[in-house]
Amino acid sequence: MSTLDLQLSDSLSALEKAQRYRRRRIVAGRAGTSMRVDGKDCITFCSNDYLGLAEHPSVVSAFQQGARAWGVGSGASHLISGHCREHHALEDELADFVERPRALLFSSGYLANLAVATTLTSSGDRIFEDRLNHASLLDGGWLSRAQPVRFPHADVVALRALLTDGQDGRSLVVSDGVFSMDGDVAPLAELAGACREHDAVLSVDDAHGFGVLGANGRGSVEEAGLDSADVPILMCTLGKAAGTFGAFVAGSDALIEYLIQRGRSYIYTTALPPAVAAATRSALRVIRDEGWRRERLAELIGSFRTSAASLGLDLLPSRTPIQPIILGGESTALRVSDALREQGIWIPAIRPPTVPEGTSRLRITFSASHSDSDLERLIEALAGLSQEQA
């Protein structure tokens, strides 16, 4: 073995010993919430396809038509020859949907977050991050030349104190709208108030709120009754509730133009396939037209919480499709996840470093396509486990 391989093998054994080694499971087939996983038929409670749009007939057909019209790949980045009419129309429709002057498509949410952090700050600036922000937001902070400052989760009092600690330069405050591992919603109105007082700019990553929260599915900012003056920078991903792929940043004309000119993770990467943009345009119409999907989701979440509470399970204060059950150690979380899989329920164990030490968990997520009997099976399986542990 080469020295490199020996060193890597050592690090891998250490991960294994700490029960933090991750294994990919192979999905052999998928129909709605049913998947064949490593040879076993399972109902999945771990997808981010919250509205069930990844397999929606109109979305699939738009994708097929898009591929026929445009081929498979975009062939270039947006600033060369990859920016097609489908992308441009989707940007207009997204901007209209989130009620902002413009939107800019990115090839993934990870890239969008890197662009916001690195183009809008430079040395002498500060980026304030909630401790539980998504890895891509934290990475954006590290990659920028600004000074990253983390504040305790959802603690606006602490944030205010940090902002007061005056300094020249721009202050960018960044938060998940819905926290991806806990499912709680950020205190957006308070964050916006603190930013207003301290002349800071608020940027919200609404990967898990877009399509799901708010009367029209515009997300956590809509739900909080805020507008673009309160949250000048809004990032949403399209691989979750929209069921497709990619992401966008929405905001003012100047913001979008600046990201186009300066966003390295916008400029130096291949544009999304235009067929994906076509599929997303169709998904956006479904989000607008089929409000029952959000209602169904809310109904499932409500029934789950009532049943889980009556089993004595400890739930987090979440009103979103993300409903984690904290189990503590890595080995417990792995054991429970394996036991559920034996019963045909697929919920992977989420362990550090994705979540803080000692908070390994099952991260249960719901989709509008879960049936009542899917939910019953989940509750039965969890009831069996909680009896075993008692």
**Chain contacts with ligand PLP (rule: CB under 6 A):** 108-110, 113, 134, 136, 176, 180, 205, 207-208, 237, 239, 247
Nearest approach, Cβ of residue 251 and ligand PLP (Å):
17
Nearest approach, Cβ of residue 322 and ligand PLP (Å):
9
Nearest approach, Cβ of residue 344 and ligand PLP (Å):
26
CB closer to ligand PLP out of 174 and 255: 174
In angstroms, the CA 87 to CA 255 distance is 18
Name the closest residue to ligand PLP (Cβ). 109
**Closest of 287, 156, 136, 297 to residue 222, by C-alpha:** 287
Nearest approach, Cβ of residue 247 and ligand PLP (Å):
5
Nearest approach, Cβ of residue 39 and ligand PLP (Å):
27
In angstroms, the CA 78 to CA 272 distance is 9
Nearest approach, Cβ of residue 124 and ligand PLP (Å):
26
CB closer to ligand PLP out of 205 and 230: 205
CB closer to ligand PLP out of 33 and 136: 136
Are β-strands 40-44 and 34-37 bridged in parallel, bridged antiparallel, or unpaired? antiparallel
Question: DSSP states of 213-234 as a string?
Answer: SSTTS--HHHHTT--TTT-SEE
CB closer to ligand PLP out of 52 and 183: 183
CB closer to ligand PLP out of 108 and 119: 108
CB closer to ligand PLP out of 108 and 365: 108
In angstroms, the CA 31 to CA 369 distance is 10
CB closer to ligand PLP out of 22 and 68: 22
In angstroms, the CA 48 to CA 68 distance is 28
The C-alpha angle with vertex 60 and arms to 57 and 64, in degrees rounded to 5, equals 135
In angstroms, the CA 151 to CA 24 distance is 33
Nearest approach, Cβ of residue 337 and ligand PLP (Å):
20
Give me the amino acid identity at 128: F
Cβ partners under 8 Å of residue 208, min gap 6? 48, 50, 176, 177, 178, 179, 180, 183, 240, 241, 320, 321, 322
In angstroms, the CA 205 to CA 114 distance is 12
